[in-house]
Structure formats: structure tokens, C-alpha cells
Amino acid sequence: MTVREPLPAGTPIAPGYRVLAHLCRTGWLDVYDAWSEERDCRCVVKVLRPDRRGDRELRERLLREGRWLTEFTHPHLVRGYGTGERPQPYAVLETLTGETLAHLLDRRPRRPAATDLTLLGLHLCSAMRYLHGKNLLHLDLKPANIVIDCRRAKVLDLSIARPPGPGSRGVGTDGYLAPEQASGGPFTAATDVWGIGTTLYEAATGELPFDGEPPRSFTPVSRRRRLPRPLAEAIDASLLLDPAARPPLARLAAVLDDLLPQGRRAVPPSPGE
């Protein structure tokens, strides 16, 4: 089957939105830079690829993500502006001005400083605690799904987010799968703690902690990078193979928060956690 070319600039893509440029094509989506007539600003519009529009599961995944991000409000989650089904299923998101963490790690020869790693971890903990409060797990935390702008992290892509519980084997991205994702669940908040640990490990060292799936033993981060001991221990604890042995998000956030200077602490644990 021949896949149609992306829409050219100027084409209406959704009610009130016109294409400025095609940004990328994934295995099931086309992502566009678009102009919002209502907001008088640029935004991002995600639509199903022309050859995938008959897939009802992908259609619902896109619309569900659009609804969630439009309803949710959190400083470390990308904002949604709306979603709809005509002339094609679409989700509209804010345009972020920073770079993905994956791009930053590839572009910069030096690894992030310990303080920047700590802030990144706190921002991810904050976003995940918000999602978990909505009874959702992200399940795909990785540098490509995090945008950094002025030292603030924003998490992208809720396309495979789902409530805690039994899961299918292999849900997520190869190289970033927690053991329970590789084996097929059950998925819990500890699965996203693993995602935070994997992301911090890669940001700190430039390497993934595990080779292959399912994950097995790994080299502690302190052997690959000199870091404050509490930070190194927090990263390694987040990568324990047993989900029950990983620190809860509130505890992980508290450890990271204690590493910051007094005037910069901003993520106290919630009452009762």
C-alpha cells in the first residue's frame, strides 16, 4: 500500500488549525507544526497516518491521550488544547520551545551536573505523582519523551498510559522496559519509578543501565559516574528488579529534595504518604 505524502503547508488539518510544516512521521502518527486561529499561536497537531486510520485501537489511543492532556493541568506535563474526530482523528498540544532530553544528551559532550539530575528527578516524580493521582501510569518514561526548557522538564506522550493492573508483555520501549513490562505485569506505580531511574541513569552516564530484555544485573551508577552518594543510591534503588523493593515516589522525591539547597526545595511529600 502506498502511503500518502504528508499534508502541505496551508492545509486545514482540524477545525481552526492550518498546517505550517510536517514535523515527523512515526509508525502510526503524523505530527505537524500548526497554527491555531483561536489562540493566534503555533501548536502541535497529531493525526493518524493515512494508512492507519482504519485501526480503531490506534484511533481510540490518540483520542484518549488528547482528552487526558486537555483535562490535566500540571507544570511538568505537556498541555493539550483539544481533540476531535473530523476531518480525521486528531489531538492538539502546546508547542514546547525546549529540546528533548534525548537530543540534549546526544548534542552536549558533558553529562548534566548532579544538581540538574536532581531537579530532573524531582520534576519527573512530580509529574508521575499527579498522573498516579488520576489512576494512570505513564509506562514510557525515557529521554525522548521529556522536553527540557530553562531547566524545567515536561513529560510527553500518554499514548500507552493506563491504570495499574495486569498488563501485556512488552508494553513500552525496548531498552527502557521494567522487568514487569518485559514479562507482562502487573504494572504498578513502581513501574514508573523504574522509568525515572532509567532516565536518570542514562542522563548521568550516557548509557542505559541494562542490556537486552528482560533486565538482569547492572553496574551501579556510582561506578560509571561520580555523584553525591544519596543521589547515586536513589537512582540504583529505583532500578531494583523487584518492584516492591523500589522506593515509593514520595520517598524518592524526598531524598532528591534533600539534596537541593534549602532555598530551592519545592516538592514536599503529600500528607499521609
| CATH number, position 194 | 1.10.510.10
Same domain, 80 and 153: no
Tens digit of each residue's pLDDT (9 = 90 or more) over 231-250: 999 999 999 999 999 999 99
Q: Is residue 145 part of a domain?
A: yes
What's the CA gap between 98 and 88, in Å, rounded? 28
Same domain, 175 and 248: yes
Q: Is residue 272 part of a domain?
A: no
Same domain, 56 and 173: no
Q: Is residue 238 part of a domain?
A: yes
- Asked whether residue 112 carries a pLDDT value surpassing 90, the answer given is yes
What's the CA gap between 55 and 33, in Å, rounded? 24
User: How many domains are contained in the chain?
Assistant: 2
**pLDDT category of residue 192 using cuts at 50, 70 and 90:** very high
Side-chain-side CA neighbours of 39 within 13 Å: the count stands at 17
Question: Smallest Cα–Cα separation from 142: which of 107, 168, 171, 177?
Answer: 177
Q: Is residue 1 part of a domain?
A: no
Same domain, 177 and 253: yes
Q: Is residue 2 part of a domain?
A: no
Same domain, 111 and 240: yes
Per-residue pLDDT, 108:
86
Q: Is residue 5 part of a domain?
A: no
What's the CA gap between 98 and 246, in Å, rounded? 31
**Share of residues in the chain with pLDDT > 90 (%):** 81
What's the CA gap between 184 and 154, in Å, rounded? 28
**pLDDT category of residue 264 using cuts at 50, 70 and 90:** low
Same domain, 151 and 226: yes
Same domain, 140 and 116: yes
Per-residue pLDDT, 268:
52
Same domain, 71 and 155: no
Same domain, 210 and 191: yes
Query: Is the bond preceding residue 75 a cis peptide, omega within 30 degrees?
Result: no
The CA–CA distances, whole Å, from 265 to 2, 133, 208, 227, 253 equal 54, 22, 28, 19, 10
Question: Smallest Cα–Cα separation from 7: which of 71, 50, 53, 61?
Answer: 50
Range of the domain at 24: 12-94
Per-residue pLDDT, 211:
79
Beta-strand pair 41-48/90-94: antiparallel
Give the CATH number, domain containing residue 73.
Answer: 3.30.200.20
Same domain, 126 and 239: yes
DSSP 68: H
